[in-house]
Every structure is written in structure tokens, then in C-alpha cells.
Amino acid sequence: MTKITLRQLLDDAAERGYGVPAFNINNMEQGLAIMEAADAVDAPVIIQASRGARSYAGDIMLSRIIDALVEMFPHIPLCLHQDHGNNEATCATAIQHGFTSVMMDGSLRSDGKTVGDYNYNVDITHRVAQMAHWVGASVEGELGALGSLEHGSSEKEDGHGAEGALSRDQLLTDPNQAVDFVRATNVDALAIAMGTSHGVYKFTRRSDGNILAMRVVEEIHRRLPNTHLVMHGSSSVPQPLQDMFNAFGGEMPQTWGVPLEEIVRGIRHGVRKVNIDTDCRLAMTAIFRKVALQSKAEFDPRKFLKPAMDALRDLCRERFEQFSTAGNASRIKPIPLAEMARRYRSGALDPKTNMTAAA
């Protein structure tokens, strides 16, 4: 089975009412664990690579890892997505190396830390969408700055994140502006800001409507019922993983993530892609600490990596089941990029906006 585009996968998710977790990887072990989880529950997969991951592993290595996963799991539709592309070149070279989807994050300038204004965001996202659609690849845009409503700032991940204080208006996507943005850019999916952030330290208490504005998701979905929404920074940071990490020598302060029930609520209101990275890192590194402390003479890396892969596999399986992704893979027949390009050219995949709902 060939790779699938994000647009085809999210169209299917919207039709059937499920969400798709998007897992970031840097290496073979993460890729294998994710695909084993998907195989166990018949779930389609979104694997993401950030600019940091591409720098760490190299484009050729990442591309070959994905090719191997496709060959090993030919019955599982797999979308390879560029996470937080910062300019046209990042997105173009991702497509060149086999990515079927790219995110153009024009909410920040190309340095990945300076907030971009609305016109800049529209202009660069539109250009990337045109380029990607020529070859059939999908595009995710972002409107609003990812960051905490508690302290008004963003957290960096792989060097990406807004610097300085952010206003509440910047931290919450404007529903009216979202309608205009989708029309102007022709994006296939829209990442929105509602109080989530990168990294492990998302909230200092269990989230509520003041620090996680799910009402923004619901209002944007009301105005854009046919647009696929994306929640970034949506790791739940499970307490058992925090406890294990600390029990074996870690020093992680108490933190709270995005509750699973809030993610499921988002899926009911148009969220089709849910970005998860911190949970995956924590599941593996908690095991590394456990092995290192309990088996102090162990020097074989595989004795660390194999149980860590098992932990990641179990976590990914849980997310596939919780988001109702499970059971959908075998039914999906990937559409080739060339056919997707033809559909873009024909206008069949242009955004459908509901003028009545937006009023």
C-alpha cells in the first residue's frame, strides 16, 4: 500500500466521526511501535516529523524508515506529515523526500519564534497550499499562537515556539478570522489556538474553560462545519507516567495535560487530527529510567529500547481506541497523489464554507 494524504484520511475521519492521533517520530523504534499499535487495532496512521527530527535523523534516513514501515505494514494507510514547517523551502523539501502532507505554520515567522501578522500568515500559507496541491500533497495551516492562557507565553519544542508575552487575542483563534483564512488559503486542515501548548508543562492545574477554551473549537466548527480542525499540544501527560518517571530518579514537577475527555469533545466538534508527542517521549523515557535503575549493569541498548517500544505501542493503541480511529484502516484505499492533484485542479477539494453558519 502506498502512503496516504492527510486530506483523504481526514475526509474519511469526518465522514465517520473519528479523530486521528498524529505521533511525532525521530527514529526506527518509535515508528515500529506506532505501526505495531495500528496493526493491532486496524487503525490508519499519521506519522509526523518536525524540523528538529529531520535534522536529527536526516531526510534520507527518515524517508527510508517510512518506506520500510509501509512495506512491513502494507495494509495500514500511513500519512507522513511535516510538523510546523516554517517556510516554503521546508515544506517543498519535505514533499521532495516523500511527505504526503505539510504544515505551513505562518502563525510564526520563518525563525520559528517571532509572531507573524495575519497578512503574512495568509500569504505564505496560500503559496505553500498552491505548491503542494500541484502535486497532490495536503496542507495544514495554523491560525493563532500556540501557548498557555495561564501565563500568556509559549513553550518551545525542537526550537519552535513564540518568544515573549502573548495577548489573549493571540492565544485564541478568532472564529470570524478562521472563516476568512480558510477561504483565502485553501488549506486542507486548520490548527487552532485554544490554550494548549507544546511540551510537558501545559497547565498548573486540571484544565477548565478558563485555561482550555474548547468553546473556541465548537464555535469555529459551527462556522466551518466542513473544515478539518487540528489540536496541537494535546498530550494528556498521564499521572502514572509522571509517577514512574519520578520513581526511577526523575525530577519532573507535577503537571497536567489535556484531558482525554476534552479531546473526545473536540472530535465531536470537528477535530480530526490530534497532535501527540510529549506522551510518547514520556512513555519511553520513563522505561529508560526504570531499566537503568533496576539493571545497573545493563549495557545493551536493546534492553532499554525494546521495553520502551512496548510502552509506546501500548500508549498509541490506547489513543487509537479512545479517538475511535481503530477499525478504519482496512476499509481505506489510498488515492494516488496524481489523482489528488487532479481533484485540486478541478476545484473538487476547494474549501466549503457555510455562509449561514458564519453569520
Cα distance between residue 264 and residue 221, in whole Å:
14
Continuous segment of H or E residues that includes residue 138 = strand 138-143
Using an 8 Å Cβ cutoff, are 320 and 37 in contact? yes
Grid cell for residue 132: 503542494
Give 85's strand partners: 104
* Conformational region of residue 206, where left means phi above 0, alpha means psi within -120 to 50, and beta covers everything else: beta
Cα distance between residue 3 and residue 11, in whole Å:
15
Q: Which residues contact 275 (CB under 8 A, 6 or more apart)?
A: 21, 22, 24, 48, 83, 230, 231, 232, 233, 234
Q: Is 71 exposed, middle or buried (0-12, 13-18, 19+ CB in 10 A)?
A: exposed
Residue 327, helix vs strand vs coil: coil
Residue among 3, 1, 12, 320 nearest 188 (CA) = 12
Continuous segment of H or E residues that includes residue 165 = none
The single residue listed with the C-alpha cell 515567522 is 109
User: Of residues 83, 105, 158, 279, which has the active-site annotation?
Assistant: 83
Q: Is 323 exposed, middle or buried (0-12, 13-18, 19+ CB in 10 A)?
A: buried
Cα distance between residue 38 and residue 183, in whole Å:
34
DSSP at 108: B
Cα distance between residue 61 and residue 274, in whole Å:
25
Length of the chain: 359
Q: Is 83 a catalytic residue?
A: yes
Cα distance between residue 83 and residue 158, in whole Å:
11
Active-site annotation, residues: 83
